Amino acid sequence: MARKIDRRDVLKGAGTAGVVGLAGCITQNESGGGGGGGGGSGDTEETDSGMDTTEESSGSMRTVKHSVLMPVTGDLGSLGKPIRDGGTLPVKQLRAAGDMPVSFDQTVEDTQTDPQAGIQAANALANAGYPTVCGPASSGVNLQVTQQVLIPNGMVGCSPSSTSPNVTNLDDNDLIFRTAPSDALQGRVMAQVADNELGNSSASIMYVNNDYGQALAESFESAFVDNYSGTVQQSIAFEKEKSSYTSELSSAMSDSPSMLVVIGYPASGIQMFRDFYANYNNDTDILVTDGLVDPTLPDEVGNEMSNVYATTPQATGPGQEEFASLYEEEYGRAPGVFNAHAYDASAVCLLANVKAGSNDGSVVKEEMRAVANPNDGMEVTPGNLAEGLRAAADGDDVYYEGASSSVDFDENGDMTAVTYAFLQYNTGADGNVETISTIDFNASS
């Protein structure tokens, strides 16, 4: 494991190139396909449900089919919309480039942050013959969708934000990939931050009652206790979007832990933090994860939240600046958490489909590592994606260097190396989040 400390960089507005600038400020009319500078691209525009309302005529060209499956509504809706926008951006970009050797059929479905809705949406994609899916997002949805729909139907899934360690060991016939890092790594990062950065020796954990929350809570506890001799006093599951979390907080804070770890999503987090500050002061460090990194939270909660810290995957790939420019030009706002990961997931799926020459997931999966991992072919980044796709269509070797990372898949479809940011809600900075340091992790560390 290598660790580096960057100079402090306050992430404000358009200055957020890869960690935050998040979703709480995204309104429905901003989340469609016609924002920013993309109006002249000839691309489709999405309705509020996220579905394409027009389709490009393919003529005699082969049509590449690709889909995006994200939580546009529900507890993760505020984060899911801009992640979806990252996932749909490569097709928008390729259509705008013109002179493509293929045409594109792209559609978006909404999981509603609900496993059953996600399964229904994924079945619609399977029935329509989409071989690849950028998504799903949350691990609680992703695990059920992949096991019940994607794997049985031979569809390639590449999630930009499903982080459960359980994804690694799926019996998936090599169909399931992700550009997001496993929480097995983030739990270790959190434990390191809790001890080395914040100096805490005891903690209580509150986690959303699903696969994501449980797995990350267990990963943190294991690393905190085993690697840093920390003590976990309470580990408490909570349900999403309750009207009050006073009871759960009372249990978590009963033994006066020096730190409270909260693993959840924004819609629940608003009420939870309101209840916390109504009953407790800012002396207790709070450590949250990527699902609760939202610069609008202090205004929603009514507290500056200066005692709240966070860890989150950070986009530091070779093509990060190119992606951030493309994203901001298209949507008129800076990218947020997992937006770059979604772009990379779709870009690799598209390159693999073109290289395979087929809308058959069992064929496309064989090209996922071939177009992503280093080889002697052409280097492709967000900046030259169109040229890379043309080369792949000609049968040339290509390898993708992404926005979120270099996007190198291991034998399980996981990333081989990732970077995390250590953040703090910044006192007096109008609710923005300050990057304190970055931490590099190799999967083998």
Q: Angle 339-356/77-97 helices, nearest 10 degrees? A: 40
The beta strands (E) that lie in 351-414 are given as 378-380, 398-400
Least confident of 51-60, 85-94, 112-121: 51-60
H or E stretch covering 158: strand 156-159
Distance CA 377, CA 154 (A): 28
pLDDT at 221: 98
pLDDT (mean) for 278-299: 91
Residue 57 Cα distances to 38, 43, 54, 62, 64, angstroms: 19, 12, 10, 11, 12
Distance CA 396, CA 364 (A): 16
pLDDT digits (tens, 9 = 90+) for 314-349: 899 999 999 999 999 999 999 988 999 999 999 999
Distance CA 371, CA 388 (A): 10
pLDDT (mean) for 293-315: 90
pLDDT (mean) for 138-153: 94
- pTM reported for the whole predicted model: 0.78
427 pLDDT band, cuts 50/70/90, is: low
* SS3 sequence of 185-253: HHHHHHHHHHHHHCCCCEEEEEEECCHHHHHHHHHHHHHHHHHHCCEEEEEEEECCCCCCCHHHHHHHC
pLDDT (mean) for 175-201: 94
3-state secondary structure of 272: helix
Question: Does the bond joining 136 to the residue before it have cis omega, within 30 degrees of 0?
Answer: yes
pLDDT digits (tens, 9 = 90+) for 228-283: 999 999 999 999 999 999 999 999 999 999 999 999 988 899 999 999 999 998 89
- β-strands 285-288, 156-159: how paired? unpaired
Task: Dump the DSSP string for 74-107.
Answer: STTHHHHHHHHHHHHHHHHHHHHH---SEEEEEE
| Lookup: tokens for 243 | 């009207």
CB atoms within 10 A of CB 133: 33
pLDDT at 418: 86
Q: How many residues does the chain have?
A: 445
- Please, what are the domains in the chain? 17-182+316-415 (3.40.50.2300), 184-314+419-442 (3.40.50.2300)
H or E stretch covering 156: strand 156-159
60 pLDDT band, cuts 50/70/90, is: confident
| Lookup: tokens for 220 | 């943190």
379 pLDDT band, cuts 50/70/90, is: very high
389 pLDDT band, cuts 50/70/90, is: very high
Compute the CA torsion angle 196, 198, 199, 203 (nearest 10 deg). Answer: -110
Q: Is the pLDDT of residue 371 over 90?
A: yes
| Lookup: tokens for 10 | 């306050």
Closest of 28, 35, 3 to residue 329, by C-alpha = 35
Distance CA 377, CA 97 (A): 22
- Work out the percent of the chain whose per-residue pLDDT is above 70: 85
pLDDT at 59: 52
- The distance from CA 366 to its chain's CA centroid, rounded to whole angstroms, is 24
